[in-house]
Amino acid sequence: MRPTDPPRTYRVKSFGCQMNVYDGERMAELLGAQGMTAAGEGDKADLVVLNTCHIREKATEKVYSDIGRIVKDWDRDDGSSPMIAVAGCVAQAEGEEIMARAPSVKVVVGPQAYHRLPEMVAEAAAGRRATETDMPAEAKFAALPRRRKTGPSAFLTIQEGCDKFCTYCVVPYTRGAELSRPFADLVDEARLLVEGGAREITLLGQNVNAWAGEDAKGRAVGLAGLAEALAGLADLKRIRYTTSHPADMDEALIAAHGTNAKLMPFLHLPVQAGSDRVLKAMNRSHTADGYLKLLERFRAARPDIALSGDFIVGFPGETDAEFEDTLRLIDAVGYAQAFSFKYSARPGTPAASMDGQVPASVMDERLQRLQAALGRDQLAFNKASVGKTCEVLVERKGKHPGQWLGKSPWLQSVHFTGEAAIGDLVLVELVEAGPNSLSARLAPRDQA
Ligand code: SAH
Ligand code: SF4
Ligand code: F3S
């Protein structure tokens, strides 16, 4: 391919959160609709879309090293060069800087503008570098092609953006204000996903439980109402949602965990820290105790619910004693899994200029202790599952002949050997637990 030839093959590489994974799938569909084909594994693509994440400094640095690697690996001796497009949250936050620093980048497109990717690629092929970082997300979804075939577990973005402005976080700046997609569009897209093979749908949003809309009868509904409507799709067997914010929880969603049988017993509810002073400085709008009380209500509605969270260690000013509060909160909850991060100062966020930035060595030590506690609880949760009979949604083949991999209702990875196919919901007995997965054997159907 010469620089002026329109690209024929593409590769989309997504980093960061599940919403970026969803966006990456939609970009691939857009390029496919233009007649481009996905580059095979190991093949060099004419167009590489880097769908980037800005959340921590490391994530951002990765973009520049990836650009360097793509250019270096392009060893066609016809004088051509690869076309690189940078999409996602780094594009939104640092688009101009990327254009200035990386001449091989021909397209910069923000997360709310990627429906324009095909025309921007065409412009770039005609020799004009193209940038689009406008924020009107409304236009985007309407302009995307219809969904096609998917795997058994699919993502569906229902809500975008964030109005919470936690003092450490870039998302309100990279994704813009909170916006809910319309109810009818979501039911339509879910139906297409199910027709395309999805048996499980994970509803996505930066604040997914802030989703609000009007149902077919014009009644105001929240996430619980949407999940109820989706449960009406016969071939859809499981509904999940992520990520929730404690401030947007309502009684209807809590109750739905007890009444909507397709809503899986799993809740990812980030807390970030266990000290009320730190939570306040983070602008989290909840206390540690308020968070724990919320979890109690979920457990009352669905006693077997598995809990997950996000944590940041070393927020500016965090003392040893305040860090201990986080460990105490972890002990009180007993998480089934969790994500934890060292605080990363992000340009333009209020926390970046706060006093008391914590030294890296202290953050390292805190993260290690935190992860030890979380790892201990995750293993304990998995071990407590041994002996249970449950359904597993088969997602792919395992490494060994006849082996299958899938997920339990509690989002644990489960492997088993036997008669099954991708997309099946099979009944298994969990027989052995490790820190990150469980082994199982097929259970006779009449045990259900
Ligand atoms: N909207 C979601 C997820 C946001 S990003 C929420 O509010 O929970 C995912 C996680 O990244 C956050 O929950 C937080 O734990 C972490 N994170 C965000 N900004 C960070 C920063 N500057 N440094 C370290 N971790 C960060
Ligand atoms: Fe970031 Fe806070 Fe919004 Fe989550 S709620 S995206 S952590 S600002
Ligand atoms: Fe990263 Fe943007 Fe998601 S910053 S975590 S890709 S919303």
What is the pLDDT, as a whole number, of residue 4?
58
What is the pLDDT, as a whole number, of residue 147?
84
What is the pLDDT, as a whole number, of residue 432?
98
What is the pLDDT, as a whole number, of residue 446?
58
Indicate which residue's Cα is closest to atom 12 of ligand 1: 310
What is the pLDDT, as a whole number, of residue 440?
98
Q: Show Cβ contacts of residue 377 under 8 Å, excluding neighbours closer than 6 positions.
A: 330, 334, 335, 336
Indicate which residue's Cα is closest to atom 6 of ligand 3: 53
The Å distance, Cα 172 to ligand 1 centre, comes to 11
Ligand 1 nearest atom to the CA of residue 344, by list position: 23
Ligand 2 nearest atom to the CA of residue 283, by list position: 2
What is the pLDDT, as a whole number, of residue 59?
83
**Is any atom of ligand 1 closer than 6 Å to the C-beta of 243?**
yes
Ligand 1 nearest atom to the CA of residue 342, by list position: 24
What is the pLDDT, as a whole number, of residue 136?
72
Rounded Cα distance between 283 and 293, Å, is 19
The Å distance, Cα 446 to ligand 1 centre, comes to 44
Ligand 2 nearest atom to the CA of residue 282, by list position: 2
Residues lower than pLDDT 50 in the chain? 448
**What are the chain's domains?**
9-135 (3.40.50.12160), 140-385 (3.80.30.20), 389-447 (2.40.50.140)
pLDDT tens per residue across span 151-166: 999 999 999 999 999 9
Indicate which residue's Cα is closest to atom 19 of ligand 1: 169
Residue among 89, 206, 285 to mutate when testing ligand 2 (max atoms within 8 A of CB): 206
Indicate which residue's Cα is closest to atom 5 of ligand 2: 164
With a Cβ cut-off of 6 Å, ligand 3 is lined by 16-17, 19-20, 53-55, 88-89, 170-171, 174-175
